[in-house]
Amino acid sequence: MSEETELVYDTAKILAALPHRYPMLLVDRVVSFTEEEIHAVKAVSFNEDFFQGHFPGRPIMPGVLQIEALAQAAGILAIEILGLAGSGKLVYFMAIEDAKFRSPVTPGHLLDLRAGFVQKRSRVCKFWGKASIGDKVTCEVNFTAMIADA
């Protein structure tokens, strides 16, 4: 699967792959992926629960939720590439490193989520992640996840 695959995960397939549900499901679609990298999208809506309390009058998506969206995209990548679908295994956050927030994300934006493997092992994987709106980077992070039973 070294070629790029296009729009392979719609909402139904994302729901089948990830245990997350509203309001914590932060990936709306997967545009493409390779064996090393994924490109997913989060449509940021004013109706998101966190906007009610996160800077009312100037709603901004919390940076930690941008990181969570990147981790969910990376989780889909790991499930697909490591053959975890239907195995009962989950991808759990272990560490967040070098998080940098560059620009605010507000309602109405399409947040591009790109994540990829830094290190691939059977039980622990390291990833890089970058969120952006168009050409403007909003968040960059490195993180580690553990593959374990649910």
Distance CA 116, CA 129 (A): 7
Please confirm, yes or no, whether 20 is among the known catalytic residues: no
Positions marked active-site: 54
